[in-house]
Every structure is written in structure tokens, then in C-alpha cells.
Amino acid sequence: MWEYAPAPEAPQTARLRPSYGMFVDGEFRDGTGERLKTVNPANEEVLAEVSVAGPADVDTAVAAARRAHESVWGPMPGRERAKYLFRIARLIAERSRELAVLESLDNGKPIRESRDVDIPLASAHFFYHAGWADKLEYAGFGPAPRPLGVAGQIVPWNFPLLMAAWKLAPALAAGNTCVLKPAETTPLTALVLAEICQQAELPPGVVNVLPGEGDTGAALVTHPGIDKIAFTGSTEVGKLIQRTVAGTGKRLTLELGGKAANIIFDDAPIDQAVEGIVNGIFFNQGHVCCAGSRLLVQESVHDEVLDKLKRRLTTLRVGDPLDKNTDVGAINSAAQLARITDLAKAGEAEGAHRWSPPCALPDRGFWFPPTVFTEVSQAHRIAREEIFGPVLSVLTFRTPDEAVAKANNTPYGLSAGIWTEKGSRILWMANRLRAGVVWANTFNRFDPTSPFGGYKESGFGREGGRHGLAAYLAGADDAPRGDNR
Ligand code: NAD
């Protein structure tokens, strides 16, 4: 057996500082909240101290965003706004190595993913939306679409910089100003993005970044000076936010959880499908809202798929996120590890069969091995609840109708995957699956031009593409949004 020599990126590339301020009105300052420590989930060492925004800081940031919207950003011609977005995109690309290492340190994801997925896509979102900024009147939302005003944006910890880019780029392109709250466990790359806004000479107040926990997010949601809330995170908090903004006139988009079915037919190219299954659930340690966490395999190929999958999983390398050979990194926090552990225990207690490849986990940090559950029934918690970890539940089906019925048997509706040789079957299935995104013979592909969003408890509204602009333009309510039926 050949072993891989260690190939770590140097942590110094991240240019980590001992402390970070919040970003308000174009400058970094101390917040009035109690500072938080952000840790490296791979070894539990403190990376940095970060200022936390209290309610007074939310006031200041919203006021700065309002001033910037009324005095500069709103009235600015789209072609001028575009230049700033292009600049931000280029600066993200120029600082991509630093950002990738910082993201892996703060989040625990493998450097291979932050380097090849998170950071290039974040830059691509700014590039793409820079292109829209001067063409909004041709986007199909009327001859003179107007921005909404000030957007409050709350993002989770699973793709910290990428989610910030998903939120900021369309909002800015459409002429809104933003107050962004990164997740408490992963604030660092959003603060470097704030620095990039400074470098790009974005007018003060156009982008504000307020680190903090749920109460900072709640202060943003309830603030009367906010015109729109864009939230990505748990369904539970999403519901709370929806109740809070009801009747206030604030516009709202919610991108929440998922429990996607990845469906393998017996005519699928099995080796490619196995790669798709691995990418579907072990990418980013399964901390992916659209993860293919329920594998639906046609009964006739069940044994073959499972054999090949298990063989493939024994080759996954779990460990140091900064090592370029690592496939699966650390779980983002102790709390998330506890949640995954609890649900995996429930899977065993309810009678499913648990399997993991032999793999040595590091002594320190938060780790969970790639795990596959077979003999899963639809009633099991591991088949119904979002685990948000590297845990796959395997179910079987006999006919396409049964596959559709099982795939749709979930309160969520974010994504689905279909693996088959037949184009007609792909279209037949895609028409029946209640999911915002349906991948065919691939999984977890993202592109700024392609709208992303959910049905049912996965939320409503779209991010990306022309549809994503609708969320930030007045009078564009008729644009497609998730229907909650
Ligand atoms: P969360 O919903 O608690 O947090 C997401 C963001 O919302 C964070 O920035 C958080 O500080 C903020 N927040 C928390 N409470 C708030 C409130 N009352 N008002 C406003 N903002 C608030 O999610 P989490 O703790 O990061 O993860 C918990 C679960 O959420 C996961 O296990 C997973 O199921 C799901 N999740 C989904 C996604 C997704 O992309 N759909 C991303 C992360 C987590």
C-alpha cells in the first residue's frame, strides 16, 4: 500500500490576527457585545477574538446602510456599481489562498474544498452579479426596477464566505445596501471580505458586517430600519423569523434545511453514481443543506452499489483540514458533533445497521467518521431529520413511482439527484420530485447563474440567476418563489 506524504498548507497563509473588529460604516470598530472566541474545530485551539455587535451597534450599522443607500449606492448608475463588484470579485481571487486557508482553519473543511469550491465560487458570484448591475431593466422585472433599500442578511457556518457572497452580490448589484451577520463559529472570512470591500473603496456603509450570536441576528430581524431579511440556516430559526416579520412589510427569503434523496436506478453508471453518492453526502462533512443524505437505490442493484460504496469509503482520508490530501475534515463545533452523535445513536436504537470504514480519528478536535446506515425504514429519525453530518441513510425502491413517493416523503424540498441512463426518465422524475434543485447524473453542482432554493420547509425565494435578483428588487414579487404547498 502506498501512503500519502503529508501535504499541509501553511496556517500562516491565513494572516490570522489575534483580534478582529466588526465592520460598520466603512471601518472596523469594537462592538458593544461581549467578545467571542472562534476556535479551530480540528484541534480546539482559539484562533482569534472577535467583536460582537450589540443592539446599539445594529442601530448604527442600519443607520449607516440607510445613509449609504440614500446618498450614494441607490442613486449610483448600475454601470458604476458594477465596477465595485468586479473589483471585489478580483480581490477575492487575488487573496484566494489566504481566504481558503482561513476558511479551513475556522470551519474545519478540507483545504481542497475551500480552495476549489468555496472561494472560486464566492468570486464567481460577484463577477456574475457585476454583469447584472447595469442590465436590470432587461431582467424582466419592468423597465425601471428599484432596489428595496437596506437588506439584513444572516448566514450559517457551513459555507461562511460563499453564503456571504450569495447574499451580498445580488443585493449590491440591485442597488441595496447590506448589514450581514456571519455565524458565531465562523466569522473570520466575512471580516476579511469586509476588508476587501475597503480595499475596493466601496463607499462607507454599503456593506456592514456584524459578528454575533442568535441575539445579534434577532436584533437585525426586528430592526424597523430593515427593508428585507435574507436568512440561511435552520428551519427552526427560519420559522421564528417568518413569524417575527409577518405583518411588518419586510420582504423575506428563507433558505433552510433539507433531506435530499439521491436516487440510483439499475441502469445508472454505477461507478459514477458511487462517486456522486460520496460527493453528495461526504462533501463538506455533510454540512450541506442540499446534501444527498437519503440514498434511494433500486433493489436489483442494492448489493452492487453498497459493495462499491463501502470499498470507496475505505479510501477516504479523514483528518487535518489543511492537508491537501484530506477528503473529510472536522465537524464545525462541539454542538454539531453532539447532534450528529445523538441522531446516529437513534439510528442504531431504532434498528438500522451502522457501518463506518476503519479510520483513525485525531485525538483533539471534533470528528465523526463517514457513516452508512442500511436497513433504514422511512419512519426512522435518520430518514426524516436533517443530520447535517457525514451520515448516509440507505433505502430501496422497486419502481419509479415508488422512488418518487419515497423521495417526496419529507417535510423538506431543497434538492434531489437522479442517476439513470435514460433522459426520458430524468425528465419524468424531475417533473414529479418536489425539490427546488434536481441534479441528473451529478450532485452538489453550484453555479451563480442557476437559481437555488427550496419548497415546503426548505424555505422560499431563490438565490442565484435572474430569479435571485427578484429577491432584492421592488415590485418583483411575481417572480418565481418556493410555494409552500
Ligand atoms: P441556526 O439557524 O441556529 O443559525 C444560522 C444563523 O442564524 C447563524 O448566523 C445564527 O447566529 C443565526 N441565528 C440564530 N438564532 C437566530 C435568531 N433567533 N434570529 C436571527 N438569527 C439567528 O443554525 P445552526 O445553529 O448554524 O445549525 C443548526 C441546524 O441548522 C443544523 O444542524 C442544520 O440542520 C441547519 N443548517 C442549515 C443550513 C442551510 O444551509 N440550510 C446551514 C446551517 C445549518
Q: Is 260 in the pocket of ligand 1 (CB under 6 A)?
A: no
Total-model pTM = 0.96
Contact 413, 453 (CB under 8 A): no
Q: Which atom of ligand 1 is nearest to the CA of 414?
A: 41
Tens of pLDDT, residue by residue over 434-454, are: 999 999 999 999 999 999 999
Q: Is 184 in the pocket of ligand 1 (CB under 6 A)?
A: yes
Q: Which atom of ligand 1 is nearest to the CA of 244?
A: 19
Q: Is 289 in the pocket of ligand 1 (CB under 6 A)?
A: yes
Residue 296 bridge partners (DSSP): 263, 395
Sign of the Cα torsion 297, 302, 308, 311 reads: positive
Q: Is 291 in the pocket of ligand 1 (CB under 6 A)?
A: no
Helix axes 78-94, 188-199, angle to 10 degrees: 120
Q: Is 186 in the pocket of ligand 1 (CB under 6 A)?
A: no
Structural domains of the chain in order of their starting residue, each with its CATH number:
11-255+457-478 (3.40.605.10), 261-445 (3.40.309.10)
Contact 316, 282 (CB under 8 A): yes
**Type of residue found at 421:** E
Torsion angle in degrees (nearest 10) through CA of 268, 269, 270, 275? -110
Q: Is 175 in the pocket of ligand 1 (CB under 6 A)?
A: no
C-alpha 105: how far from its chain's center? 17
Tens of pLDDT, residue by residue over 281-314, are: 999 999 999 999 999 999 999 999 999 999 999 9
pLDDT at 475: 79
Residue 311: φ, ψ to 5°: -60, -40
Q: Quick one: cell of 78?
A: 448600475
CA distances from 225 to 114, 250, 270, 336 (A): 35, 10, 53, 33
Q: Which atom of ligand 1 is nearest to the CA of 236?
A: 2
**Which residue positions in the chain have pLDDT lower than 70?**
1, 477-485
pLDDT at 476: 76
Cα–Cα distance for residue pair 227/150, rounded to 1 Å: 5
Q: Is 255 in the pocket of ligand 1 (CB under 6 A)?
A: yes
Question: Which residues does 346 contact at the CB level (< 8 Å), separation at least 6?
Answer: 380, 381, 382
Using most ligand atoms within 8 A of CB, pick from 215, 216, 237 the residue to mutate for ligand 1.
Answer: 237
Burial (CB count <10 Å: 0-12, 13-18, 19+), residue 249: exposed
pLDDT at 477: 57
Q: Which atom of ligand 1 is nearest to the CA of 221?
A: 20
State yes or no: is 289 an active-site residue: yes
Ligand 1: distance of its center to the CA of 1 in Å?
Answer: 42
State yes or no: is 421 an active-site residue: no
Annotated active-site residue in 178, 289, 290, 457: 289
Cα–Cα distance for residue pair 320/328, rounded to 1 Å: 9
Ligand 1: distance of its center to the CA of 235 in Å?
Answer: 8
Q: Is 252 in the pocket of ligand 1 (CB under 6 A)?
A: no
Q: Whose CA is nearest to atom 10 of ligand 1?
A: 214
Question: Which residues does 263 contact at the CB level (< 8 Å), separation at least 6?
Answer: 296, 397, 403, 407, 416, 417, 418, 419, 429
Tens of pLDDT, residue by residue over 53-111, are: 999 999 999 999 999 999 999 999 999 999 999 999 999 999 999 999 999 999 999 99
Burial pattern 424-463, b for ≥16 Cβ within 10 A else e, equals: ebbeebeebbbbbbbbbbebbebebeebbbbbbbbbbbbb
pLDDT at 2: 79
Q: Whose CA is nearest to atom 27 of ligand 1?
A: 234
Q: Is 218 in the pocket of ligand 1 (CB under 6 A)?
A: yes
Contact 316, 356 (CB under 8 A): no
pLDDT at 482: 37
Ligand 1: distance of its center to the CA of 2 in Å?
Answer: 41
